[in-house]
Structures are given as C-alpha cells and as structure tokens.
Structure 1
Amino acid sequence: MSTVEHSVVTAVQEVAVKAREASYDLAVATRTVKDAALLAMADALLASTDSILAGNAEDVARAEANGTSPNIIDRLRLDPERLEGMAQGLRDVAGLPDPVGEVVRGSTLANGLELRQVRVPFGVIGMIYEARPNVTVDAAGICLKSGNAVLLRGSSNARSSNAAIVEALRGAVVASGLPADAVQMVPGETHDSVKALMRARGLVDLLIPRGGAGLINSVVTESIVPVIETGVGNCHVYVDAAADLEKALAIVMNSKTQRNSVCNAAESLLVHEDVASEFLPRVVEALQGAGVTIHGDEHFADFDGVLPVTEEDYAEEFLAARIAAKVVVDVEEAIAHVRRYSSGHTDAIVTEDMAASRRFVAAVDSAAVAVNASTRFTDGGEFGFGAEIGISTQKLHARGPMGLPEMTSTKYVVVGDGHVR
C-alpha cells in the first residue's frame, strides 16, 4: 500500500474515535428514541431544502464544467421531489421493526443453560461512495436505526451537497438526544482520506463501497477493514420461447429505460431463437424509439442503427442508454451466457413455461433472479426494506438489497443458575 500523509491519517482516526464513542450510546438506545431521531432527520432534511439544493447546484455546475458524464450527473442532481423521496425513506425506516435485540435462535440446553443468539450493531460503519447524495441520507438512517455510527466518505464532486445534508442530519440527531457524532463526514477530499479509512481497522468495523467497478474493486482489494462488496450490475433479461411477448416487451423496456443509470437496469438482452423473428422487430423499434443504442449479434444485423456487439459489450455495465443483445438457441445457452458475463446482481427470465423458469432460477447464481418481472425491482424500497444501504453481490453475511438486519451482527447470551463446566 502507498504511503498516506500522517495528518490525514490522524484526522480520519479522530472522527473514527468519535464515532466509536457515539456507537456506545446508539447500541443501547431504545427504538422510541431512534425512531424519533429518524423522523426529526426527515423533517430537518426538508427544512434545509434551500441550502441543500444550493450546495447541489454548485456540485452539478462543477461536474458539468469538468465534462462529467450525463449518467453521473443524473445520480448527482437533486430536486425537491428527490429530497422528499429521501425524507420519506427515513420515515419508512422509522416504521420498520428494530433489528437490535431480535432473537435469531434460542434453546434450553440439556444441562439447563438458556442460550439465545441475538442481533447487535456492528458499531462503526464506513461508507465510501460516488456522486449520489441520497446515499448520505440512506446510510445515515439505516445505520442509526440499526444502532451503528456511520462515517460518510462521499466523492469530492458531491461535497457541497453532502456537507449541507450532514449538517441538517446532525442537528436533528442532537435535538433527539443522541450524539451528533453518530453521523459524520470523513475529512479530506483526496484519495488519502479513503486510504486512511480503509486502514482504520479496530476503529471501523465494516466498510461498504457504493459506486462503479473501479471504486468497489479498489476498496475490496486494498482495505484491511472488513468489506461488504456491493453491486456492479450487469443485469440480463432472457426472453424464452414460451414468453408472453407483450409481457416481455414491457419488462425489457422497464428494465432498460425506466432509469438506465442505476445498477439494477438491464444491460443485456437474450432472446430465444424460436421467438426472435417476431420479437426482434418489436423490441428494436421500442428500444430505439426510447433512445437506446443496441449492440447486437448477427441476428440484429439487418436492423438500421444496430451496432455489432463485442465481448466487451457483453461484459460491460453501461449505466447508459445502451444494451447488448443476442439470440440464443435455448434456455441452457441463456444460462451459460449469464454465468459468463453476469455480475451476480439481478437476472430475469420471461416465460410461461414453469420448467424453464425453475431451471433458470436454480442455475443462475445471482443475488436476485426475477421471473416475469423487471430487474428494476431489486431495490430495498421495492422489497419493503425501507431505504437500502446497498445491494450486496457477495455471498458472505449479506446478499442482495441490504436493509436493517444486514447491518447487524449477532452475539450469544448464555443464562445459567450457577452452572459450571
């Protein structure tokens, strides 16, 4: 690992120590107190609309001047409607059960000892994320409800938005009787502060990266703090021979075009050869009509405007109005393609054939597998978890949309009556 400036390490460790102290109060806070804080945070967010939008306007203008891609600017941009959605996410989390203290399992042993495995907070969670100010709110809310202090390290191109948001949230936390340091921004705008956070083992219990493949891979490979890997989304929609083509068209269009800059948007389309002659003209017309550029195999070559597909296209998370497309001979070829190129986020099959759907669901090893439904449903809010903190594509501890239970660990409580071994 490269050397990190000592002053940066010291500054990051200072906020981590404050977070650790705050985590002790959060761990024993009642649900009533935490829910009141969440509701106050939602109100404070909306009360600070003017200052937050002013900061966001600075960030957007700076991003545009730097030639930032439109899909990143779309994630960065806030408006009153998006702020209301962020506030509602906090209210939704307040309405969810408190995971802390939940008994995962329990029993009375043969010797009379009472054994319970209960959920407990991790302690201090660090978030490293790119230009999405909504993550600042979601992470703060979910961490607080699950009894964790949070250290927020957003990207420098969202610094004004995040600063205004965190100021509002911290004020609400204090007014609710909880420590302000339950929610903190990590100081520093260079990558050194990220490196310092990744090395704060013992002060930070868990890191969650959210962003593109480069950011996630960097954190996973360089961090000595445990990491939950979140979702790069190379998502597929497979239209089977037994698909209802009206359903298929609606699902493809929603998966790709409802919002194409997010990780649960479809990036690849697979079509069974038996329905290709009927479905391809319809889906090409619809996608191109929505401004989507199609990178297709030889079966798409006769359609105007379709570009030849490459291996790189099949493997890419476009996060843009582009999609890779291929005709396959059967469900097995579709499964093989998904296994080769999928990032393990969300993959979907459209079919009325139960055997085909069962085969696809069993064989595709992704965090979410959809049958006759859009890939866009893989989302904590849509799953009823409230605001999510990320979508895990790994297999240990948490997988898929991560809500409150995923932000806890467990401990065993052993109750005896003078028992000795």
Structure 2
Amino acid sequence: MSSNEVQIPKLYDDIMFIKGGNAAGEYQLRVLRKWSVFNSVFPGNVESVDMVMIDMNGHKIQATIPNLLLCLFDNLIDEGNVYVLSNLSVTYNLHEILGSYNRYMLVFNVNTKVNLSSSSSIAHYGMSLIGSDNVLQLSERFKYLVDVIGVITFIRHNKNYFDDGTISTTVSFKLTDHRNSYDCELCGDYVDLFRVLMENQPLGLPIVVLQFAKITMQQGSIVVQSVDHVTRLYVNPVIPESIQFKTGLILALNQTRRLLGNCPTDKSVGFRFDVSYQFKTISELMDDPQTGIFIVNARIVDMIELNPWWYPVCRCDIIVESYLGAYFCENCHATEFSAVPKYRVKMVLEDETGACFIEAYDHVMLPISLVDPNNPILPEAFFPRAFDS
C-alpha cells in the first residue's frame, strides 16, 4: 500500500442486531465492568464471570464466561480494555443482575476468539444517566441496573444490629438534581470507599455518581442501592457527564436569586475586635503561612472568579468545610446540615509588599464597600446575584 493511500478503518458488527443462537459477527467492545457471580448454594464457588460491554455506537450488552471456561478466558480479559471478539454464543439474559437493557447475553464458548484492541473510539465510562424524575417513577420490579448522578444534600451513617449478634454498617444519602431528590444506600465495602473518597474533596457538597446500581423499595420509598462488586462509586469525577451535569446545575443556581447570600453576616463573621490581632503584610503571610486571624491593610484589585455551588451549612449558620466521617460543625457539634447555594469569590489582594489570591463567600462580601475613583457610581449590574442581600 502506498503512503498516499488512506486506510479505511475496519467495520465491526453492531451488538444491537444480535439475535439468539450464535453471534456470527465480529465485535469490537470495551469491558465497562467485570465481576464474579457466586453460587447461591456454595457462596465460595464462582459460577461464572459476568461483564457489561459497550461498542462504539454506545450500545451495551452483558456477557458471561461459564465456570468451565474461566481457565481459558478470565485472565485474557481486563476491565477497561477493548477487545475484538468473535465466535460467541447468544442466549437470553436470565441472570439475577441485569447490567444492560439488551435482552440477549453473549456467552463465551471453546471456539470464541479474543484479541486485544488499541481502539480509543469507544466510550471509557459508557454511562446512561437517568434523572431524579425517572428514578422516582421506577419500582422495585425494575430489575435493570441504573446509572444516577446528583449532589449530596443529606448523609447518615447507620449501624444495623441483627439477632445473631452481627453488626453491619451502611451509609444513606440523598442525591439532588435541578428537579428533585431521591434516597441512596451503600453497603459492604462501599461504606469505607465512600469515607475515603469524601475526605479528599474540595469545598462544597460533592457530585456523586453511582453506576450499575439497583432500584429497591424501603419503607414505601424508592432507594438506589449499591450491588456488591458490581456498582461503581464516583465522587466529583472529572468526566464529561459530570461536567455537563455541574454546568446545568450552575445555570439553575443562577436563577435562584433570593436563595443566594442568605447566611446572616452577624452570625457568619464572629471575630472579636476587643482583642489584639497581629498586623501582617501580604509578603509576610506568603513567606510564613500560619493558621490564625490577622489584620491586613490591602486593597482588592480584581474579582477573577465567581463560583456558585451548594455548601453544607449547620443550624448555627456556619459553613462546614471539612468532612471527617460526617459534616461536623465544631461550633455547635451538629452533624445535620442544610444544602445552601452560595457564591465563593476569588479576588486579587494587593499591598505595597506584593499580591495574592484570596477567597471568600458571598455573605462575607456583603458589608464590603467598593471604592472606584474612576467610576464613583458603579452600575447595579456590576455585582452578581450572589451579593443580593
């Protein structure tokens, strides 16, 4: 083939056209999730290894490696990789866990061929997110696994005591989008994973994604629940679906004019000026950063970022900025919080010794007067909605 010839990419079969019997085609698929299915009578015995796979068209299908063929194929296939598969059997998906909406399932057999592919054209996460309205319309008879996303607006860690003396822990939380909220529950290893992920997050309530979770009913309410070894848990993931969701929420947040800036400044700013605070310049703060309260004689040069988001606010109107197993307020010792929309403002602060960035919440900015000698009458539109009192 000459160097000027354009190589046409190979076309693979679409899994949407699979029917019962044998899949005679050749399929290029990414393994989104892989898990072991244990025998219900002998829990320690692996009955099969199941997978959810996706093609370049975004179509998903469940696949299974029977117990007798695990020695041939289990070590060949890793989660996240793309493979070219052929000579597969096809059957109806009657498994307890239904990882895709396709009614058929691919079954590996002794003639199945597996080749690793370097293709990057297939989605890495393959999420099919549904909103709160769709979740709340489902019932426990809905057997398919779902993908959900939302902002955490409530958290509770639970201990469950059983008659045989065993204790299990779960974590319950609400996920909220721009329409509604719904309950979620994590069990087993996901409880510890949730704690670890939550403790390493930036300020503000996090976005949580549950992929391959099941719908259950508890006390008459729909609950999205984790499935052991199957569900994927993400906290503030940097993926297109999460970024798109956050952008939509920020647009909705900008329309809630009177909800912003609603922390009373007299409670939020609790400095005592009957004691002496140390004066420092900006260069001194930057050269020797310390935790504490200092007086800095400086001017605000510019506001460079206005970040609207939801923050946990306790009953004493203090924003809780850290998660240590729970959102715990050191002032009133409360773990209950309200999800309050706020702006976090990033500014450039300057004095004779240097300049630095400083961040503050919108309610802290309310009593600050802005003096601009070049424009003594600032237009009302200069201030964002966050500064509405």
TM-score by length of 2: 0.22
Higher-Rg member (1/2): 2
- As a proportion of its length, which structure holds more helix? 1
The answer to which structure, 1 or 2, has the higher relative contact order (CA under 8 A, 6+ apart) is 1
- As a proportion of its length, which structure holds more strand? 2
